[in-house]
Structure 1
Amino acid sequence: MTKPIPTKARVVIIGGGVSGCSVAYHLSKLGWTDVVLLERKQLTSGTTWHAAGLIGQLRASQNMTRLAKYSADLYVKLEAETGIATGMRQNGSITVALTDERKEEIYRQASLARAFDVDVREITPREVKEMYPHLNTSDVNAAVHLPLDGQCDPANIAMALAKGARQNGATIIEGVKVTSVLRRDGRVTGVTCEQNGESFTIETENVVNCAGMWGRELARQSGVTVPLHACEHFYIVTEAIPGLARLPVLRVPDECTYYKEDAGKMLVGAFELKAKPWGMDGIREDFCFDQLPEDFDHFAPILEMAVNRMPMLETAGIHTFFNGPESFTPDDRYYLGEAPELKGYWVAAGYNSIGIVSSGGAGMALAQWMNDGEPPFDLWEVDIRRAQPFQKNRAYLQERVSETLGLLYADHFPYRQMATARGVRRSPLHEHLKARGAVFGEVAGWERANWFAKDVQERKYRYSWKRQNWFENQRAEHLAVRNGVGLFDMTSFGKIRVEGRDALSFLQRLCANELNVEPDRIVYTQMLNARGGIESDLTVTRLSETAFLLVVPGATLQRDLAWLRKHLRDEFVVITDVTAAESVLCVMGPKARELMQKVSPNDFSNQAHPFGTAREIEIGMGLARAHRVTYVGELGWELYVSTDQAAHVFEALEAAGGDLGLKLCGLHTLDSCRIEKAFRHFGHDITDEDHVLEAGLGFAVKVDKGEFIGREAVLAKQEKGLSRRLVQFRLSDPEPLLFHNEAIVRDGEIVGTITSGNYGHHLGSAVGLGYVPCDGESAADVLASNYEIEIAGTRVKAEALLKPMYDPKAERVRM
């Protein structure tokens, strides 16, 4: 009997894979009774039914690990709750390293696991052999064991979630295709759908796109950006192998392979370095429980390595050679949250082959987000607002996902850059910088000079966990900024104009600092949420009585635009993205004033142009707006130049800077300088989960100015006291390196992780930032402890300070 389609719902979930079923389950658990899930064919068709079902708890950050651990715990409980066997068993996992570089990586991951309270231990090759007797361990030089990892039956997990949702009042209907999402005045109003050739409309204010590899096209119809693309994913399943006992899940990332014992058979799967995109011309209408054509030639090199690694495979028959599609994203992270283009349009898709372990936690987090109006904790890594509009381009996606599939098991070296789909967004200075030795990285599609090679030096990265081939280049750039003058191209900054009669009152409500300042004043501020967490870290320049320029990181531009537009009331305010209109050249260092005086007739003295002010200047034969601010902790100016004049201004600065030793500098140097100065970085050191006072940014909060979002949380924290503090660390040994996620050890106990790190070339060793718990403790108490940083299992003594180790009184920026 066909289920009737309701005419109204609080939410319509599109897609009946494990993701959609998880969202339905968790919303119904929160008391949302009118939840409707529509599946175009049958539950689990598409991707879920053929997933490998690996449950690995450790992820690249604490919150992603929190979600994965939640999934594992949920899947253990689901069988008792629903009566459906989930196949969940915590048989553990082993990851082996065949190279020294991989050993460093997995040992760093083990330190991270300890910091995240994940059960882990480093084991010897002999112990690996004891746990996995079928394995060739002759060239294994290290391994890590996580005993609470495991595996499950993906289809049954989805079915159990679906049953749990139904038990709590959700309606799940198969054989219904959503044809459009209705909208009015910028928000969702309903969906149209088809069942057995008949059309229906459901009124709703919330839609959740859980459509997997169909998700991009579904979103496009509503003007929403969900950049993902399907790739072919291969594995084999052997015939039954006599005497094969239960085994841990095994990962051999150096050979791109994973192994899973299941019912006396072995499953061998791969994340090969160059994948095969699929579905470039769309996905046919009747696609359901379909397999893709076999391509044994593509899989053969993987299988050859697998037979060497596990010799019993040579005589085991192949029961199944499987090829199925899975969706991948440009940065290997899935999408979660409300789309910035359309209110009430939510997304949970693009799981990059880790959908089973992710979906339990992702469904919980999204349900809470929808219920409470804000995420339960920092989810910026997977936030849909990180997606750039251009990334829905199919040619871009086809090229990029051929790389992202393989990155799952590639060496996760620090500073690793994407190799595919490059050059989409370029500064007007790109060719100038390229000609002068720039080696580019990419953020939000922007090509940015990360470091500058010498004339005889190869212009490419040589990745390592030790000092990479650009370390000395960065040192020279860094010291030029500290002792002379450096020039950065920061055109990738996001630039937003907020203007209109009510612009001031609007921004006063959103920003924590006082913005009722004279025109040409620059204010450093944060936009907070109701918990006092940091939603945006920015500068606001008052251009006139009714116009303001907001400068934000390039990676957060879409997020920041969405936050502004979300909080716009019936106010006369216009919000415009003007990022492409201006280039930004940063002149930084103690000789910056001398350089500016050589290229401009304007007065750059402290009296004429004090810190924190902006004004129009003549430069060369052009004009610029010069902002006296800094992110490196030195005297300097950010020059905002119309893009048509940017090349001329660059040439004028370069010509005039020769006598001063002007050095072109890259983003690696910007980062190392700002970490020496303990300047915070949004997404690493400060997030929407980090209270502005605990982040040490109380100086940028003015509670006396009147009401603003987060004010009550700031007052409450002032009264209650801090529960943790952001501390700067410097290693006593000049040799080890800090990147991020190294464990902070206080008096012998792990208490947190390094949020960001780099080498302090002026201070002479690696420097990092990280939060330390301090309930009831004074600042002196926090600093009185003994600190170490655990790096790949080795603990290194560290100095800790709450004030910046470099120029603590900020005298240099006001020279």
Structure 2
Amino acid sequence: GLIGQLRPSQNLTRLAKYSRDLYASLEEETGVATGLKLTGSITVALTDHRWEEIRRQATLARIFDVEAEVVTPDEVKALYPHLTTDDVLGGVHLPGDGQCDPANIAMALAKGARMHGAKVLEGVKVTGVDDDGTRVTGVRYEDAGEAGRIAADVVINCGGMWGRDLAASSGVTLPLHACEHFYLITEPIDGLTSLPSLRVPDECAYYKEDAGKMMLGAFEPRAKPWGMGGIPEDFEFDSLPEDFEHFEPILADAMHRMPMFETAGVHTFFNGPESFTPDDRYYLGEAPELRGYWIAAGYNSIGIVSSGGAGMALAQWIDSGEPPFDLWDVDIRRAQPFQKNRRYLKERVSETLGLLYADHYPYRQPETARGVRRSPIHEHLKARGAVFGELSGWERPNWFAQGSQVAEYQYDWAGQNWFDNQRAEHMAVREGVALFDMSSFGKIRVEGRDATTFLQRMCGNDIDVETGRLVYTQMLNERGGIECDLTVTRLSETVYLLVVPAATTRRDLAWLKRHVGEAFVVITDATVAEAVLCLMGPGSRDLLGKVSP
């Protein structure tokens, strides 16, 4: 029930702020109390690196129009008297943050929807989504053992941890996996009054005062994935078996950080599943595989603060065909089909839960479930000191270690260990010649008798050029905004090769296919069919002259 406005990007912050403002108005509109209290929040730093990070976050907050104050340890103590601050370097206070009652928020939203004509069916199991091969046509369900069907040309999968398997039954990619999430609530504590929400990410912990009790929750570095063999048919609103040994290190730190935990009784120790995604960002938008199949799932434990804004954005997106603003951060089209693999998801989400409270260094790379997609020369690059980053599952050489240098990232908020390497590589390209492995870039073939006419309509530049010529261009939407940045090479009279960024290949494929209409063209993803080596720099022509007649 924490309402934290600040998100990693400006537009996700806009959605979180919308949620907060919506919940503030729900009680008056619906008569259902939401429990919203704008108590503010405090994040404290125990290390120099965290202190640097949260001060940067405070700067971002101000840019994003979120009130933020950098506070000293003494000011933290004044705001949170129960906190041990001897080792606190400082904190950031967001006065406009708050907390709410998630169950009542859901009830208020449901009542508001009914007031505007919606029908809410409870105790109903969705058994499948029907389609005609290109778009959805309805939803099948069971109610008290009887089958039913609702005709619909728009369906939104908000199935949470059940959503992945439901989507898969329609051929839709929705990579998420449940993890066990732990929290503890004390017995009532004498004299405990309203306090800001508190985050101590260096100890993986968050705290919330609630009705005179104290809640302690955790995002531990290595989480426990759950439901690898599927979710039991009768599992709903249930808890999982206690694992106090797993939670004990968090509680031990809490007893030092908040001495009241040494003597307070335990009212509730809860372990329940929540869904997490491979990159800690939720999913919104229309699935590229099936028209009319929309997604709002995978909220990574920030569902309450995200859902109000996500609902607003999705409603506008469905109604107008375009999101209200750039939502690529959470666009479902970034999801890759291979990410549905359960082994991959189990490994990755064991890390991503903990990354919520890890140091968010620039260029930080995931450690789990690596090596899924590699170019044909991967091992050659590795032997020459390549240090790889991951993008859309591809292992890509981000920089090369030199001499006895350790070939791995050493993260920092100041200059990182690869800065000099990157400079040398940059200057080699700028002043000499270098070879790039660009096999990960998306490669899309567009062919057929209408290929030229179709691409002339889709692209901003003139692509009707001689065979063998390459054109740099963009694909634009109806507002003139850029949907894709690409190169188009004409291979023959009726065949073109489009090269697009690796991260947006599925999005770009979906954009092309959505606008084919009656054009006689075939669109094929040829990314894995061809490796690509690019020779760049002012010395490239001379080098080619030496090796090619």
Same fold per TM (> 0.5)? yes
Q: How does 1:735-750 map to 2 (within 5 A)?
A: none
| Cα distance in 1 between the residues matched to 2:90 and 2:436 | 42
| Cα distance in 2 between the residues matched to 1:447 and 1:569 | 36
Structure 2 partner of 1:502: 450
Quick one: which of 485, 509, 515 aligns to 1:537?
Answer: 485
Q: Secondary structure of 1:74's partner?
A: helix
| Cα distance in 2 between the residues matched to 1:220 and 1:518 | 43
Which runs of no fewer than 5 residues in structure 1 stay unpaired?
Answer: 1-52, 602-815
| Cα distance in 2 between the residues matched to 1:474 and 1:59 | 29
1:524 is aligned to 2:472: yes
Offset of 1:582 from its aligned partner? 1.1
Paired amino acid for 2:16: A
| Cα distance in 1 between the residues matched to 2:123 and 2:82 | 45
Query: Could you list the per-position Cα deviations for residues 299-338 of structure 1 after superposition, in whole angstroms to 9, with x for gaps in the alignment?
Result: 0001101111111110111111110000000000000000
| Cα distance in 1 between the residues matched to 2:372 and 2:237 | 36
Larger radius of gyration: 1
Structure 1 partner of 2:341: 393
Quick one: which of 568, 571, 577 aligns to 2:516?
Answer: 568
| Cα distance in 2 between the residues matched to 1:598 and 1:324 | 65
Quick one: which of 112, 115, 125 aligns to 1:177?
Answer: 125
| Cα distance in 1 between the residues matched to 2:124 and 2:102 | 22
| Cα distance in 1 between the residues matched to 2:469 and 2:382 | 35
Quick one: which of 204, 208, 214 aligns to 1:266?
Answer: 214
Conserved 8 A contact 2:296-2:310: yes
Structure 2 partner of 1:133: 81
Higher mean C-alpha deviation, range 516-525 or range 88-97: 516-525
Structure 2 partner of 1:236: 184
| Cα distance in 2 between the residues matched to 1:536 and 1:458 | 37
Query: Could you list the per-position Cα deviations for residues 164-212 of structure 1 after superposition, in whole angstroms to 9, with x for gaps in the alignment?
Result: 0000000000111111111113110112111111111211111100000
1:482 is aligned to 2:436: no
Query: Could you list the per-position Cα deviations for residues 630-666 of structure 1 after superposition, in whole angstroms to 9, with x for gaps in the alignment?
Result: xxxxxxxxxxxxxxxxxxxxxxxxxxxxxxxxxxxxx
Paired amino acid for 2:155: V
Q: Secondary structure of 2:121's partner?
A: strand
TM-align CA RMSD: 0.7
1:406 is aligned to 2:354: yes
Structure 1 partner of 2:401: 453
Offset of 1:584 from its aligned partner? 1.2
Offset of 1:415 from its aligned partner? 0.5
Structure 2 partner of 1:144: 92
Higher mean C-alpha deviation, range 518-527 or range 251-260: 518-527
Q: How does 1:150-229 map to 2 (within 5 A)?
A: 150-229=98-177
Conserved 8 A contact 2:76-2:90: no
Offset of 1:482 from its aligned partner? 1.5
Structure 2 partner of 1:660: none
Structure 2 partner of 1:305: 253
Structure 1 partner of 2:321: 373
Q: Secondary structure of 1:586's partner?
A: strand
Offset of 1:457 from its aligned partner? 1.2
1:599 is aligned to 2:510: no
Q: TM-score, normalised by structure 2?
A: 0.99
Q: Secondary structure of 2:524's partner?
A: strand
Offset of 1:397 from its aligned partner? 0.2
Q: Secondary structure of 2:311's partner?
A: helix
| Cα distance in 2 between the residues matched to 1:376 and 1:505 | 30
Paired amino acid for 2:34: T
1:555 is aligned to 2:499: no
Query: How many residue pairs align between the two structures?
Result: 549
Paired amino acid for 1:542: R
Q: Secondary structure of 1:247's partner?
A: coil
Q: Secondary structure of 2:120's partner?
A: strand
Paired amino acid for 1:323: N
| Cα distance in 2 between the residues matched to 1:600 and 1:271 | 57
Q: How does 1:583-622 map to 2 (within 5 A)?
A: 583-601=531-549
Conserved 8 A contact 2:239-2:272: yes
Q: TM-score, normalised by structure 1?
A: 0.67
| Cα distance in 2 between the residues matched to 1:58 and 1:432 | 43
Q: Secondary structure of 2:161's partner?
A: helix
| Cα distance in 2 between the residues matched to 1:599 and 1:208 | 56
Quick one: which of 94, 99, 123 aligns to 2:71?
Answer: 123
Structure 1 partner of 2:382: 434
Higher mean C-alpha deviation, range 161-170 or range 540-549: 540-549
Paired amino acid for 1:371: D
| Cα distance in 1 between the residues matched to 2:408 and 2:14 | 36
Which runs of no fewer than 5 residues in structure 2 stay unpaired?
Answer: none
| Cα distance in 2 between the residues matched to 1:272 and 1:218 | 29
Task: Detail structure 1 runs of 4+ shifted over 6 Å in the superposition.
Answer: none
- Identity percentage over the alignment? 74
Structure 1 partner of 2:271: 323
Q: Secondary structure of 1:587's partner?
A: strand
| Cα distance in 2 between the residues matched to 1:298 and 1:497 | 51
